[in-house]
Structure formats: structure tokens, C-alpha cells
Amino acid sequence: MSKTIPVKKNDYIDVEFEDLTHDGAGVAKVEGYPIFVPGGLPGEKAKVKVIKVNKGYGFGRLIELLQKSPFRVECPAEDAHKYGGCQLQHISYEGQLKYKENQVRQVLARIGKLADVKVHPILGMEHPWHYRNKAQVPVGEKDGKLVAGFFKPRSHEIVDTNESLLHIMEINEAIRVVKEIASELGIQPYNEEKHKGVLRHFMARYGRQTGELMVVIITRTDDIPHKNKLVEEITARLPKVRSIVHNVNSKKTNVIMGDRTEVLWGSEVIYDYIGDIKFAISARSFYQVNPEQTRVLYHKALEYAGLTGEESVIDAYCGIGTISLFLAQKAKRVSGVEIVPEAIEDAKRNAELNGITNAEFEVGEAEKVIPAWYKQGNTADVLVVDPPRKGCDEALLQTIIDMKPKKVVYVSCNPATLARDLRILEDGGYKTIEVQPVDMFPQTTHCEAVAKIVLV
């Protein structure tokens, strides 16, 4: 006989929150039945309205706080709930770091059965606001006026805004100015439902170390009305701009960028540094949005690799070569693999830009290329993985176990898949020595971590 669900839709109940979900909602339990409530914090008591009931869990709305957490703070951005970008900004930064560090410990114990692994205190930011060096905002129309900002959660309704507390100030200024100019020139915004209009997205990128700004205009149409005037006004009002790029996306799709890109003014790239390594960043380049914390993350990865100058290193999921080029400074040879061809072109260009000759890059899936390398005798003393959120492919993990590099350095953007993959490596003859969480994305639920793994 199935267990009766202890609440009904529209019930008002008093609860105490025990935990947070991976997306920052408070978790309360009624007779063991979990209810997820955005805005609730562990240790708080509240009156909640049940708004949805599923078989295994329900959702609620916070009606009244009866007992507050000492970590609760006033949200700096009153309308943040409208676009869902800052899931944790109602928690003090100290509280956010504690939550993320605990999350890493919990998943290592629960999923990886690694409760004894040393987890270091999380490395946070001194100033956890205005850190993102890139913005891409949708453009639309509301009440006859051009708007650009963020989508409301679970909708395609655009919330018009001129400032994000996560974006570097130069990025906020660029988006505000470009929106203003486009509106003055009467350039038609895109209508998603009708697939009409011109302006789809504005993008801005900024090199924090160089002060160079790129503006990207993404349109449905091949041409931009008043293009010359648009460029003239952008260059006049944004003195830091070094590149203005036009990208065409004529398809009816949610994908932001199309296949065709042309430079309207200035350079094809802007430059920035992570540590001593210089990077060329094009409109389509993948580049870390928080270089300050990326430097912290990569220095820890380099420390865990323990290179002496004699090692061969393989960097799976190498992207534009960010970790590879850090490692190449201390390694004998680095081989990087990445599925995105443009990223590999960027990696080669960045190696040349920095005079690095002991790094080579190949296009392909890590789980296919690295086993092929292994069969050809291209092995590694140290293997570095920095996979997407889904974690490492099973075939790659098996190749690592077969290849037996002395060390594996795992850079993770998802503690749950990190824990799962560490368990597989442990069962294959490796031991996890330590894990260092790093807060790359303050005010959000995302947490990165670096793990040091050795062959036993």
C-alpha cells in the first residue's frame, strides 16, 4: 500500500528548513515528505503555502518567516527573484561559503563514500560582487519600447534592467549604452513568437587586466539598419571598446549565436591575462567569466600536479588551453584534447601568443582520443580532467585506470559528478588525497573543486 502524502495543494503549514537543494531552495520535511521552498534557509522556521504536490516531493511558497537564520541578509538587488540569477544573495557571504563547503563534503560522503577525504576550507573572494567579465542579454519589446535584460525564471518574458550585481561595471555600462543607442536609432527588436525583427541579443566581454572591451550585436537579419551610425555612437560613448562584432542568427532557435560573424570595427579579439598567461578572446571563445578565481583554481591544480619539468601531461577537456598553458610552464610536454574545433584553434593561438612550444592540441572527444593515444603509446605521468557538469565519460575513466598515470588532477564544476567519478577511480586503484573547493560564482549555487588523486 502506497504511503499517503501528508499535505495537499493550497495547505498552509508551519515548517523548519533542514537543508538547501542544489539550486538554493530551502528543504523542509513533513512526516518525511520533502517540500522545496525558494528563499528558505537551514535552521529557519516559516509559514509556507503548498503550491504543488508530486508523489515523492512538493513545492511551497514562503509566506512568513517565524525564525530567521543568522546568515540571512537583505537582498542587495530587490528584483533578483525576477530573473533567478543570484539564488543565494539572501545569504551572507560567510553563509554561502559554509553551504558550498558542506555541499562538497556531503556529496563526497553520500555519493562517493569518501567521508574520510580531507576537504580544505573553501577559497572565496574578497569582493564577491561585480566579477563576471561577460554578459549576453536578450533583446525584446515591451509597451512599444526596446528592452534588454534577463528572462524571468521558467519563461521567455524579458525583465528590462541596466545593471547586474554580478557583472563587472564596464559590462553593465556597455549593455546600457548599446541598448540606449539602438533605441535612439529605432532599430527593431526581435519578436521571438513571430520570428520577426532585427536585434536578438547584446553581448559584452571585458579584459579585466587589459581594460579592453568587446561589443557583439546578434541579429536575425544579415544587415543592421543604421549600422555606421551605431558603430560611430558606440565608439564615441564607450572609450574602452576595442572590438565591435556582428553575429547573424537567422534560425528560430534558443541558441544565442549563429554561424556567421564579422568584425564591424576594430580588432577580431580582445586580450586578457590569467596569472602570467595572455589569452586572445574572440566573440565565440570560451573564456572563464571569473578570471580572478580561475587563477586561484588553476594554481591549486598546478600545485596538485606537483610538476618537476620531467613529466608528460594529458589535459582532457582542454578548452582554449587555459589549464594546459599553466601546466606547460612546469611540464616537459602537455597534450590537450577538446571536442570544439574553434576552442582548439584558440588553444594553438594562445600557445603561440605566449611562446609556449611544449603544448600540442587535438580536436575530438576525450573519451575517444585519449584511449587512441594510449594504444599508440602516448601515456601520461599526470592526467588533468576538467569535464562539463555531467562529469567524465566512463570510457575515459576506464582509460585512466588502464593507463595508470601516477597522478590525476580533477577540476570539477559539479560536486555530485566529481564524487561519482572519484568513487570509480578509487575502485580502479586510485586514492583521493585531498579536495579544495573554490567559489567561482558568488551569489549562485555553483561550486568548483579540485581533487588530488594518486595511484596506490
Question: Which residues of 249-309 form beta strands (DSSP E)?
Answer: 260-266, 270-274, 277-281
Ordered DSSP codes for 129-198: SS-B-EEEEEEEEETTEEEEEEEPTTS--EEE-S--SSB-HHHHHHHHHHHHHHHHHTPPBPBTTTTBSS
Reduced to 3 states (helix: H, G, I; strand: E, B; else coil), residue 213 is strand
Distance of CA 401 to the CA centre of its chain: 29
Among 192, 191, 197, 239, residue whose Cα is nearest residue 215: 239
**Residue among 86, 318, 392, 413 flagged as catalytic:** 413
Q: Cα torsion for 318, 324, 326, 327, to the nearest 10°?
A: 130
- Alpha-carbon distance of 441 to 304, in angstroms, equals 22
The distance from CA 44 to its chain's CA centroid, rounded to whole angstroms, is 29
Distance CA 121, CA 98 (A): 9
Distances (CA, A) of 343 to 198, 283, 412: 28, 12, 19
Active site residue 413: yes
Positions marked active-site: 413
